[in-house]
Amino acid sequence: MTKVFISLLMGLLLVATINDSYAGGGRRNGTAGAQELLIPVGARGMAMDGAYITGLKGVEAMFYNPAGLGRTDKSAEALFSHMTYIADIGVSYAAVAVHFEGLGSLGFSIKSLDFGDIPVTTVEAPSGTGAMFSPTYVTMGVSYSNALTDRIQAGVNLKVTSEQIVRTSATVFSFDAGVQYHSLAGVEGLQVAVVLKNLGPQMSFQGPDLLRKATEGTALRGEQYYAVEAESFELPSQLELGVAYQKQVMNDMGLVLSSTFSNNNFSNDEYRLGGELNFKEMFFVRGGYTYMPQVEQDQEQIYGPTFGAGFNLNSGVDIAVDYAYRTTRYFDANHLFSVRFAF
């Protein structure tokens, strides 16, 4: 069974890698749907700007690279995070994971967006009708990961994303697949990873709100309606390649340096850099930065450097509390808090 799983995963990685090697952003920028799939969760990963896909493990790794879920040494974990996103949008995330000795790790996650109340406007009442609505955007996922050898972990996410605006909605299934390799070439602390994200079919909106009343020719035929056919959208599929080095620099201090290349068919290529410094594995400071060589950084890239800190407390139950801050252009900065419990 393990050999079949490895063969399927490697086949998917090879096919997607060949396909994405000819991809690029350019004129297709911003044309993908389900952009909420790209919104980061978990303060540790975001504080390093998504650059640490090689070393995140346990429940924290499910969003960034599901392979890391299989590296946990805990029986069960739970993660809760909330981010104040752009335009006063709230992003809430919860995930739980259970490790089965010899069988791998299984996880479940849910992410939802809170847009608040939005005034209903129409052609006749462009300033608002007095009614309010709030879109519902939810992504739920199930994850599985296992160690293939003492150095290699592989994992997958299966996700369903639902978007609903009043009586118009769209639902799409997608999946992620990832691999982590540790102690590359026998070098302790050297890590590499490959992850594919958001692979799935196109999505399109449907619902009764797409029905429109005809305004011409109704005198002879009576009241007539026609359906607006919504255009379909592809998902923001990504290929990410990462490398990192972890080292104990002093007796009480550890250092992680990481880098990731991200290719997305619907945005420009990204080079992410991240770092983490810890003291006795109890207190952490982190930072990250994304570089896009194809754009003018001060005009097209709305996200700037990231920073963060956290601390771990072990009192029978491991508790980690983390914070991440991401600077933005045109909007207020993003703030993300997360807490993780491990048993």
Which two tokens mark 57? 């493990």
Q: What integer pLDDT is reported at residue 203 of this predicted model?
A: 93
In this prediction, residues 97-119 reach a mean pLDDT of 95
* Model confidence band, residue 329 (pLDDT cutoffs 50, 70, 90): confident
pLDDT confidence bin for 336, thresholds 50/70/90: very high
| Cα–Cα dist 98/106, whole Å | 5
Quick one: which of 93, 101, 95 has its CA closest to 74? 101
pLDDT band per the 50, 70, 90 thresholds, residue 202 = very high
Report the relative pairing of strands 303-314 and 283-291 from DSSP bridges.
antiparallel
Burial category of 229 from C-beta neighbours within 10 Å (exposed 0-12, middle 13-18, buried 19 and up): exposed
pLDDT digits (tens, 9 = 90+) for 53-92: 999 999 999 999 999 998 888 899 999 999 999 989 999 9
DSSP type of residue 302: -
The letter for the amino acid at 152 is I
Lowest mean pLDDT among 177-186, 190-199, 218-227, 253-262: 218-227
N-terminal to C-terminal alpha carbon distance within the chain? 29
The pLDDT of residue 18 is 47
**Section 94-117 average pLDDT:** 95
User: What average pLDDT score do residues 178-202 get?
Assistant: 93
Q: Where are the domains of the chain?
A: 2-203+233-342
Angle at 87 between CA 83 and CA 88, to 5 degrees: 50
- Please compute the mean of the pLDDT values over residues 299-315 and round it to a whole number: 88
DSSP 3-state assignment of 247? strand
Is a pLDDT exceeding 90 seen at residue 227?
Answer: no
Between 123 and 257, whose confidence is greater?
A: 257
d(CA 181, CA 193): 6
* Cβ-proximal residues to 168 (8 Å cutoff; 6+ apart), any chain: 205, 206, 207, 208, 209, 210, 230
The pTM of this model reads 0.89
User: Quick one: pLDDT at residue 265?
Assistant: 77
Predicted local distance difference test score (pLDDT) of residue 106: 97
* Mean pLDDT value across residues 200-224: 78
Read off the pLDDT band of 218 (50, 70, 90).
Answer: low
Which residue did the predictor score with more confidence, 215 or 148? Answer: 148
**pLDDT tens, 110-164?**
999 999 999 998 888 888 899 999 999 999 999 999 998 889 999 999 999 999 9
Nearest-angstrom CA–CA distance, 320 and 44:
10
What does the alpha-carbon distance between residue 9 and residue 178 come to, in Å, rounded to a whole number? 8
Domain 2-203+233-342 has CATH 3.20.190.10: no
More confident residue, 3 or 98: 98
Give the other-Cβ count within 10 Å of 280's Cβ.
10
User: At residue 183, what are phi and psi to the nearest 5 degrees?
Assistant: 55, 50
DSSP 8-state class, residue 82? E
Percent of the chain with pLDDT over 90: 68
Task: Identify the pLDDT of residue 24.
Answer: 53
The answer to whether 103 and 146 are in contact (CB under 8 A) is yes
Strand partners, 68: none
Q: Which residues pair with 257 in a beta bridge?
A: 245, 275
Given a cut of 60, is residue 167 above it in pLDDT?
yes
